[in-house]
Amino acid sequence: MKAAVLHQLGEAPKYEEFPAPVLQSTDQVVITVKAASVKNLDKGRASGIHYARHTHFPVVVGVDGVGVLADGTRVYATGITGMIAEKALISNKGYVVLPDHIDDVSAAALPNAILGAAIALKYRAEVKAGDTILINGATGVTGQAAVQIAKYYGAKKIIVTGRNPELLNRLLQLGADEIVSLKDDHEHIIARIKELHSTGPISAVIDYTWGHPAELILTALKGSGLHNVTSKVRFVTVGSMAGEEITISSGMLRSSAIEILGSGFGSIPADIMAKLPLEIIPEMLQLAAEGKLKVETLIRPLSEIETAWHEHVPAGKRLVIVM
Instruction: Classify residue 237: in a domain, yes or no.
Output: yes
Instruction: Classify residue 20: in a domain, yes or no.
Output: yes
What CATH number is associated with residue 61? 3.90.180.10
pLDDT at 241: 87
Nearest-angstrom CA–CA distance, 176 and 214:
19
pLDDT at 318: 97
Instruction: Classify residue 191: in a domain, yes or no.
Output: yes
Same domain membership, residue 122 and residue 45: no
Report which DSSP code applies to 79: B
pLDDT (tens digit per residue) in 75-106: 999 999 999 999 999 999 889 999 999 999 99
Nearest-angstrom CA–CA distance, 109 and 123:
22
Query: Which domain, by its residues, includes 206?
Result: 113-262
Same domain membership, residue 253 and residue 186: yes
Closest listed residue to residue 18, CA positions, set 38, 2, 39: 2
Same domain membership, residue 124 and residue 240: yes
Instruction: Classify residue 124: in a domain, yes or no.
Output: yes
Last residue of a domain, one of 262, 284, 303: 262
Same domain membership, residue 192 and residue 127: yes
Instruction: Classify residue 279: in a domain, yes or no.
Output: no
Closest listed residue to residue 148, CA positions, set 123, 124, 100, 116: 116
Instruction: Classify residue 24: in a domain, yes or no.
Output: yes
Same domain membership, residue 164 and residue 236: yes
pLDDT at 126: 96
Q: What is the mean pLDDT of each run of 10 residues along the chain (323 residues)?
A: 97 97 94 96 91 93 97 97 98 94 97 95 96 97 97 98 96 97 97 94 97 96 69 93 91 90 89 90 97 96 98 95 98
Closest listed residue to residue 46, CA positions, set 4, 3, 88, 6: 6
pLDDT at 231: 84
Same domain membership, residue 257 and residue 118: yes
Same domain membership, residue 143 and residue 254: yes
Last residue of a domain, one of 210, 243, 262: 262
What CATH number is associated with residue 187? 3.40.50.720
Closest listed residue to residue 235, CA positions, set 215, 265, 255: 215
Same domain membership, residue 67 and residue 128: no
pLDDT (tens digit per residue) in 165-199: 999 999 999 999 999 999 999 999 999 999 999 99
Same domain membership, residue 66 and residue 143: no
Same domain membership, residue 258 and residue 117: yes
pLDDT at 225: 60
The dihedral through the CA atoms of 111, 113, 118, 119 has a sign that is positive
Instruction: Classify residue 250: in a domain, yes or no.
Output: yes
Instruction: Classify residue 280: in a domain, yes or no.
Output: no
Torsion angles phi and psi, residue 196, rounded to 5: -65, -40
Could you give the number of structural domains in the chain? 2
Last residue of a domain, one of 262, 283, 304: 262
Same domain membership, residue 240 and residue 135: yes
Going by their DSSP bridges, the two strands 258-262 and 296-301 should be labelled as unpaired
Same domain membership, residue 216 and residue 151: yes
Predicted TM-score (pTM) of the model is 0.93
CB atoms within 10 A of CB 1: 16
